[in-house]
Structures are given as structure tokens and as C-alpha cells.
Structure 1
């Protein structure tokens, strides 16, 4: 009985336990299915259908390959909105992405009167110090602002070519912005004149490397023309401009087309574009005037700002004159005022009855004033004005007084003398009806300047004529020697008057001062040119020592010329050591000839300028070998005298080099790197050179051969 009761109780508990296990299992499955379904639904709503969902108990596992890391994060966030984020297990992968592309390397260089600024991103292995050294040399005492950043990526193709070209171009562009990219350089700059703009553009295109595309935007300021003057005439010599001004390229084209249609030679195309035009309809007014004058057949038309005066040729038919002038007056734009004159046919008059004033300027500069002036005040004023223009000792006054002269006579005399002063020699003749300037000049712009002076100082009813001939022999610029003639003269003088230095040193000998004075005078008389100053030595001593010494000597000559106020913008100094002998180094005479300074013209055809600058990096690497030793240290000579001389008389180091006595002694016992910086290089190559101990050099030197470099 008792046993049966126990069995019943046990069976009841066992059944309850079993039912509990089944219920718990069913509950867990229900929770897993519910969580899995809810999470999958949320992922679908979030657009993350790629994710796979598994549930084990209270944990939810996310698997699959996410397109991006952002999608992976969105999937985790969506699941966390359904179940506790701590229950979400991340088993997802992300599609492998390509390597991150390198950044765009570029530099913006801004240069103006305040200094130079650099901003941009450059490769980490770029020689930033060399770039800044070059920039600081160009800036001088002005500020250099360095805002460059670096990135650890390889330099792209043509990056160095673009950078080197930009730094070279910056030398000639004091006001500019240069944008540097790999294989492309964009230059925005300002030139002082249209001629300089054309010259700069040609040079920049010519010197661009083949690997670099160059975009140029060079502007030139337009001159201010006051008064805005134009004078066109037709006579027995044909149609021509004495002065031509335009406000735009389009305006100039329109004016020149009208002039050619009126009979002007097509080769005469000079017309100055400037500021100060009195009306935007300037070209239209000039076109009307030129067409009208062409219809009359002969005469002159002069514009001074908006005032226009036309003088027909004597003998022009009155009816034709009236018709043409009427049509012109109607066709002229507003603002312009026309004053037209048809000179009367002169009647025969007794000789000497027509009043006149003449001024004659001789080739020697003497001025004779004759004829008539209004009164004592006018004569005194005229004489003082002439002396101010031509010199107190050059003026001879022989004019008489005539109170019947027109009231405007003194003003016409002053304007005429001002015009005469523009000539080398010539004559001024003033009558009541006209003012005429004739003569010769060496200035191609004299005609235009005279026309502008007379148009600005005379009234619109005053008639004047200009007959000025340009003579090349009188042109001081044309008389200057050519660049080739200059360099030939300098080379000949240098050959007969050798520039010498102190033994084993870059210091100029005292005797070189007079020679450099003469060379400086010759250079100052030459046009602007590109010049390479070359230093050469004989073959005694080590090659690296000779290279450094020749560079120092070439730089000393360049510095000496700069001290003499010579413009050396296009000059470079390069040392060639012993590599270019002109005589036998086995004889004393030959070695003496090889120790020399040469002046060589840099031309675009030979490409010497680029070679000199681009090759300077290699020169610097050689020049870095033991600068101190190259300036006087004896090597391979075991005599006490030579050793003492080398120790007691070291040469002064070149600019940018450092070589103290203690450093020189240190090179005899241990290798020591020496930095050498030379003027013309764009980048600097740092080289470490081991200096052999003196006893080792003695062992390698041939017996009986002098290896000291004291005479190089």
C-alpha cells in the first residue's frame, strides 16, 4: 500500500517534469522563430536583404557578405532595434575594396611684391628643403609663406618635370600665379608691355618639357593715352597714319580696315590700344572720318579726344567738300564735334609780307629762333622755354616783334617747340594758316608723339603737318651691338686679360679688379642676354676637389659683377673642374691655360640654359666632396712645407658652403659629409664623400708626381 502510494507520487512528479521540459523546449523554439522572423523583417525594411539570420536561444546571429562597411553597420543597427544589441552576434563579412587611390598632388605658387606663397600637397619624398631654398632666393628679402602638406605616396609621372619647369618660369614672373599638377602647369601672369608679354609667352612655350602641358594667361596693362589721338592723312606720298589709337582689338581691326580701304599700305598696321577713349563709338567715328577723307581724295583728319578736325587739300571742289562734310556730320556718333576747313587757293603776295616763325634744330643740338613774336613777354617766354628744352648754351634768339600777330601765336610757338624737341634735327615753321614740323629722328614713335602733342595743345581750328623721317642710324637702340657681338667682344677681352685667383682659392686676385671693371662696362653696353660664367681647372688633385673649386671661382666672378651693379638676371655660374681642358695638362703652360674663366652665351637653340640649370644638381653632388680640401688642402705631398701651407692658408668657402679649420682636420681622420649649395640649381643633391687619410693618398699617388691643388 505504502509502496503504491510512493510510486504514484513519483510518477506524478516525473510526468510534471517531463511536461515542463516539453513546454520549455516549445517556448525556446517559439522565441527563436519569433526573434528570427522579426529581425529578418526589419532587415528587409532597412534594405539589407543580403543578411542571413540565425537564432539560438536568446542570441541572434547575422551572417552574409555586406556590400560595404556602411551596409554592415546598418544591418547591425536594424537587428538591434528588435532584440537587445548585446544578443546580436556579428558573423558578417565585407566585400574587399580596391586600394585607396593616391591623392591629387598639386602646388599653387603666388608671387607678388609682398613675397611668395606656396600651398598644396606634395609627395613625402619630394626635396622640400630644395624647393624652399629656390623660392627664398627668388624672394630675396620678401616673405616666403610655406603652406605645403605631404602624403606618403609615390610621385606621379611627370610630377618632377612639372615642378622644375614651374620654378624656372617663376624667375621671369614677378607678378604671377602658377598652378602645378603632374604633367600640367598653368601660368597666370602680368607683363609690363605687350612686347614683353609676347616675349615671355614665346620663352615659356619654348622651354617647356615635352612631358608637360602648359596653359598660359599673360596679360599686359594698356597705356593711358591722353589726349586720345588719331591722325590720318592722304597726300602725294599715299595714305598713312601719323598717330593711331584704339580702345580694343576689335576697334583697331575696324580702323585699320577702313585705312586700307582708303589706300593705306597693308604693311602699316601699327595702332596702339590704350585707355582713355572718349566714347565707346570711337571706331565708328574714325571709320566715318577716314571714309570721308578718302572720298575727298586728299587732306588730313585729326582726332583729339572727341574733337575732330578735317582739312581738305587745296583745290578740292567746293560742292564735293560741302556734300562730304554734310554726310560726315550726320553720320558721326554723338559727342564728336567736327571742324572742317577747305583752304583757299593762295594768291600771289609780295615776298616777306606773310608773318612766320621758324626754329631750326641742328644735328649738333643748336637751336636758332627766327621770325616774329608778339611782344617782349612772348619773346622772353619763348627763349626760356627753348632753353629748358634744348639747353641754355644751345639757343640763339633772333626773332623780331610784331604786335599784329594772332592772339594764339605764342601758344602755337610753344606747342611747335615741344614737337621739335622730339627730333634729332629738323625745322619748325609757323604761319597764320599752318604749323609744319619737318626733320629726322631715331625714334620710331616720334610721329605719333608729335601728333599727340600738337593735337592736345592746339585748337581744333589750327592746322598742322608733320614730315618726319625715321633714320635707323640715329636710333640709339639700333646702334647697340647685338648679343653675339657683345659676347664675342667679352670673350676676346677675357682671352687677352686673364682673370686670376689666389693659389688654391676661390678668392679673386687683386689684379682681377680692373679686368672685371672693364668686363662690367662691356656687359652694361649690351642688350639683355643669358650668360653662363664657367669655371675650369687643371687636372692636378682629385676631380671632386677641382669641381668644387671651379664652381667657387665661377660664383666669385658672378658675385663681383653683381657688386658692380650689373643686371645679372639671366646669368648662371657653373664649375666644370678638369673635364674640359683646352691644353695639355702634362706641361706647366698647359695647366696654366686650363685654369680659366669663360663667358658663354646661353641660347634657346643650344639649350645651354636648361643644361646649365638642370645639370647643376649633378655638379652639386660632386662639389659636395670635401669642400674644405678643394680650397687649398694639399694631398699626396708628404713635405712639411706643403702641409703647412694647406693648414695655414685655407680658402674662404663659397656662399652656402661651410669648411672650418677643425672640420678640415677632422676629414683627415674620419669620413665627414659636407653639404654644398650652388646658386643655379633647382634642386639639391646631397652627397656624402669620404675623405681618404693623407697616408693612404701618399700610397696611391705615383712616385714623383705633385698632387697638390694649390695652383688650380
Structure 2
């Protein structure tokens, strides 16, 4: 009985223990599921879908890769709101931070009459002290503002060439803003004249390093024209402008159209400038040109608001009076008209005259009549100062009864002659005639302004000056393409040859080098690559080194001939660019060559890659080491 009771008690306790264990397991499983689901839902609501949640008993483990440390902490905080923070196990990682990108290096240079400043961020590899020293030298006596910062990152490709070009360009631009980036330079500048603008654009485009993208915006203000001058001549040779000035593009169009209607056959050049005496300038000019056309021949000259109309000799008096009267009544206020009808001169009477001639060689002869010894000495001294002491021959004669303004007329004539390359000046009591050739496209305008201001608005003068491009020191320069073609022609007639297996130029080719040097001196500073090429015989590396050494040897020979080579580079191409087959001796001979190729900047759309001495520090290519011990193929050739 006792045993049976004891057995019942044991069984009862066992069943209770089993039931408690089952209940505990179910409770733990329920807590795990609820904790995992609650934390997962909370993280999803916060947008942290990257996090992984796993419950193990009462502990909740968070795993996954958090974008940042702050996000990882936020995930822990979110989980801690659902379950006890002590139960949260952090097994999360943080995404590795990307390497810090190097900064964008750039610099901006500003220069005006108040000084020069530079601001920007440059690489530590750039010699900051050298940059500031150069800027100080450029600024001269004006102050320098240094706002440069330095970052210890490698200099990007193209940075050194761009900065060097910008600094050298700034030397030529007294009023400019130059922006520098790696491989790119942007220049905005103001010049004093259109000629200076053209010259600077040509210099900068020629001197830009290879591969540099350049944006040029050079402005030239309108010139101040004093006096505001216009002169139109209509004679047996046709209708032409000796000088033309306008105050606006609209006025220029109106004036040129009136001139074409009067028979103008030339280009119709007219300078737009400042200094017009009246806003009705183009109206007055148009009326005066129409009056001259009605008369049929003569000249019309404007000097500010003074107008001189000279009719052709033989014009009927009635026609002259009618046209002049109509013009006087039609002219806008301010303008004053002086009209003259020359008297017919007896051809048997020769007026006194002074004649000065300038030969193409620069020799000057002074002949004719002079009023006294003082004027003769003055004329001789002026001519020697203008043309050179050894270039003046004087054969003047002192006579009496010359007009009182004779000294002014003679000296003004000489001053006009000084603007010509060759020609003559003839001075008489009634007129002053200037004729000849010039390389200055504005010489005719300058002479007309000079005569109008020195002789007076009522005086008659005749200007027959012809512009010739070959006399223009700027326009006469050959273009880079012409230079390249001329050198190619020289090489086609006579190659540059070398001693066998070396980079020494053969003595027979020195004459060719002389011819090329002469062409390059006339071409000025153009960007050239001197290319060396070989045939395919021998090892490729040996051929490459030999071609480099030969190209450098040609560059050195040009330097020895005093050719400015700062914009040249030497580069060997070895056997990679043949122009003929290498399986014949004739083909190999053609492939062994030196070529001169223009280096053309790469334009950046839509900017215009517009294009003397090099403005950037792009040094010449170092010569490659010769391999003379293992020369095969080229070693046995020129």
C-alpha cells in the first residue's frame, strides 16, 4: 500500500516536470518569435532593411553592413526600444569609407594697373616659391596679392604645362584674367588696339603646349580717332577712300553704301571709333558723298565738323555753285563746308615744288626748293632722324618768294613719307601729293588725318597709297602650314642623312639643315615636332632609341644655327610608322627619315582654338641613349 502510494507520487511529479518543461520551451519559443518579429518590423519601419535579426532565447542578434556608423547606432537604438537593450547583441559592420578624392586644383590670375593677384589651390609638388617669384617679377613695381593654398596630392596630368603657359601669357597681358585647370587655360584680356589683339592671339595660339585646351577672349576697345577723319576721292583712277571713320556699325554701313553708290570699287574699309563730333556724322558724310558724285570728280574731306569739297579742275561753275548750295542747305548743324573749284593752270607754267622720294632700299632723296638755310638744315635733320643718317641725299635749292606755310608743308610731307615702305611726296603751293606702297593697312588713314590736322581743312592734298601684304611684317609671315609644307619640300629634294649606326648628321646633309634653319627663322615661333623614323630591321627597342637620338640631333643642329627652338620637341617613332614596304632596299631607305610635323592644339567645343616664343615650360624631349653596339639594319644605313 505504501509502495503503491509512493509510485503514484513519483509519477505525478514526473508528469508535472514534463509539463513544466514543455511549457517553458513553448514560452521561450514564443518570446524568441515575438522579439525577432518586433525588432524586424521596427527596423523595416525605419528603412533599415539591410539589417538581419536573429533571436536566440532572450538574446537578439543584429547583423549586416551599416552604411555609416551613425546608422549602425540608430539600428541598436531601434532594437533597444522593442526588447531590453541588454538583450541586443551587436554583430553589425560598417561599410568601408571610400578613399577621399583628390581636390580640384585650379588657380586664377588677375592683373591690372593696380597690381597682380593669384588665388587658388595648387599641388604640393608645384614649387610655390618659384610661382610667387615669377608673379612678383611680372608685377614689377605694382603690389602682389598671394592667396594660394597647397594640398598634398599628386599634380594631375596637364597641370604643369597649363600653369606655366598661364604665367608666361600673363607677362604679355597687362590687363587680363587667366583661369588655370589641369590641361586647360581660359584667358580674358583687354588690349589697346585691334592690331595688338591680333598679334597676341597669334602668339598665344602658336605657343600653347601640345594638348592644352585654350579659350581666348581678347577684346580691343574702339580707337579714339582725332581728328575724326574721312576722305573720299573720285578721279580718273576710280573712287576710293583715303580715310574713313564711323561712330557705329550702322553708320559705317550707311557711309560705305553711299560710297559704293558713288562708284567705290575697293573693299570699303571704314574704322569704327570714338571721337565723332556729331551724332549726325553719317548723315553729313552721306550727303557730301552724294554731292561729290553729282559733280563727277574731285575729293571730299572731313576733319571733325569741317568739310572740304574740292571739285575737279574744269568743272562747270554753274554746276559747282548749284551742288555746293544744295549741300550747304542740307548739312546738319555743326558742320561747316568749304568748297573750292581749282582754276585752270597754264601747263607752260611750272609751280615751285619740293620732292622727297623713298626707295625700296630705304634711300631718301630730297630735291626741289627750300625757303632758307635754316629750313634746309631742319629738313635734313628730320629726314636723317626718320630714315637714318646714311640714307639721306640732299639736293635742295634755296629760293625766295615761297609761300609762308612752305616749311609746314615740307615737314608734313616728310612725316607722311615716313609711313611708307617706298614712295614719294610732292609739295606745291596748292597741293600736297603722297604716293607709294606700305605694309601698314592704316597708313592711308593716318596720312589723311595728319594732312588734315597740319595743313588745315581748306587745303588740297592727294593720297595714292597702296597697301601690299608682302610689306606687312605681320601678314607677310608664312603660316605654320606653309612652313610645314616648305620644309617637306626641302626634305623631298634632299634628305637628312646620318653616319651609319649613329645619330651624327652626315656632312652631306648639313646644307639641308642650313636650308631648313633659314625657313624656320622666317616662320617665327611655331610648334613643331621633329620626328625620327627607321626601317624594321634590327630590334624594335634599338630602332626606337636610335630614332629618338637622331631626332634630338636634328634639334641640336637647329639650335646651333641660332633657331629659336623653345616650341619644338624631338620624338623618335622607331619602325612603327612606315611609309613604304620594308622588304626592299628602296622601301627601307624611304622609311629611314626625319619629318617636321606641326603640333596642333586640341580645340574644346564650342570654344575657338585660336593660335612667338613659347609661353609654357614644355621642355624638349631628352635624347634617348644610343645603342651602337647591337646595331643591325639601320646600323649599316645612313
Please say whether Structure 1 and Structure 2 have the same fold, judged by a TM-score greater than 0.5.
Answer: yes
Q: Which residue of 174, 184, 194 corresponds with 2:197? A: 194
Shift of 1:251: 2.4
* Counterpart residue number, 1:405: 402
| Cα separation, partners in 2 of 1:106 and 1:484, compared to 1, 3 Å | closer
Q: Which residue of 305, 308, 326 corresponds with 2:306? A: 308
Give, in whole Å, the separation in 2 of the partners of 1:364 and 1:252.
40
Give, in whole Å, the separation in 2 of the partners of 1:709 and 1:512.
18
Give, in whole Å, the separation in 2 of the partners of 1:603 and 1:102.
32
* Counterpart residue number, 1:16: none
Shift of 1:409: 0.5
Contact 1:259 1:290 in 2 (8 A): no
Contact 1:360 1:428 in 2 (8 A): yes
1:490 aligns with 2:490: no
1:286 aligns with 2:281: yes
Shift of 1:487: 3.5
3-state SS of 1:193 partner: helix
* Counterpart residue number, 2:327: 324
Shift of 1:496: 5.6
1:119 aligns with 2:117: no
Higher-RCO chain (CA-CA 8 Å, sequence separation at least 6)? 2
Number of matched pairs: 507
Give, in whole Å, the separation in 2 of the partners of 1:419 and 1:535.
52
Q: Which residue of 603, 628, 631 corresponds with 2:626? A: 631
Give, in whole Å, the separation in 2 of the partners of 1:376 and 1:434.
23
Contact 1:634 1:709 in 2 (8 A): no
Shift of 1:260: 1.9
| Cα separation, partners in 2 of 1:591 and 1:634, compared to 1, 3 Å | farther
| Cα separation, partners in 2 of 1:631 and 1:202, compared to 1, 3 Å | closer
Q: Which residue of 431, 439, 445 corresponds with 2:428? A: 431
Shift of 1:198: 6.5
5+ long unaligned stretches in structure 2: 1-68, 78-85, 139-145, 610-620
5+ long unaligned stretches in structure 1: 1-67, 77-88, 123-127, 333-337, 611-622, 636-641, 643-705
| Cα separation, partners in 2 of 1:710 and 1:533, compared to 1, 3 Å | same
Shift of 1:346: 0.7
Give, in whole Å, the separation in 2 of the partners of 1:458 and 1:546.
73
3-state SS of 1:444 partner: coil
Shift of 1:444: 3.4
| Cα separation, partners in 2 of 1:572 and 1:362, compared to 1, 3 Å | closer
Q: Which residue of 571, 575, 578 corresponds with 2:575? A: 578
Give, in whole Å, the separation in 2 of the partners of 1:312 and 1:342.
6
| Cα separation, partners in 2 of 1:266 and 1:372, compared to 1, 3 Å | closer
Contact 1:229 1:451 in 2 (8 A): no
* Counterpart residue number, 1:232: 231
Give, in whole Å, the separation in 1 of the partners of 2:391 and 2:628.
65
1:467 aligns with 2:464: yes
Contact 1:229 1:302 in 2 (8 A): no
Give, in whole Å, the separation in 2 of the partners of 1:433 and 1:165.
63
3-state SS of 2:459 partner: coil
3-state SS of 2:444 partner: helix
* Counterpart residue number, 1:3: none
Contact 1:222 1:273 in 2 (8 A): no
* Counterpart residue number, 1:149: 151
Give, in whole Å, the separation in 2 of the partners of 1:132 and 1:589.
51
Give, in whole Å, the separation in 1 of the partners of 2:370 and 2:163.
64
* Counterpart residue number, 2:104: 105
| Cα separation, partners in 2 of 1:111 and 1:710, compared to 1, 3 Å | farther
* Counterpart residue number, 1:219: 218
| Cα separation, partners in 2 of 1:553 and 1:456, compared to 1, 3 Å | farther
Give, in whole Å, the separation in 1 of the partners of 2:368 and 2:506.
65
Shift of 1:201: 10
Contact 1:197 1:220 in 2 (8 A): no
* Correspondence 1:346-365 to 2 at 5 A: 346-349=343-346, 351-352=348-349, 354-361=351-358
RMSD after superposition: 5.7
CA deviation string 1:70-127 (max 9, x = no partner): 9x99xx9xxxxxxxxxxxx9x9x9xx999999797352354989999683388xxxxx
1:377 aligns with 2:374: yes
| Cα separation, partners in 2 of 1:488 and 1:575, compared to 1, 3 Å | same
CA deviation string 1:403-453 (max 9, x = no partner): 222211011011112323444554433222221223444553331232233
TM (normalized to structure 1)?
A: 0.55
Shift of 1:267: 7.1
Shift of 1:374: 1.4
Shift of 1:575: 1.2
Contact 1:368 1:398 in 2 (8 A): yes
Give, in whole Å, the separation in 2 of the partners of 1:505 and 1:145.
52
Give, in whole Å, the separation in 1 of the partners of 2:592 and 2:563.
25
TM (normalized to structure 2)?
A: 0.60
CA deviation string 1:572-629 (max 9, x = no partner): 322101223456767888766654422234568999xx9xxxxxxxxxxxx99xx98x
Give, in whole Å, the separation in 2 of the partners of 1:244 and 1:560.
50
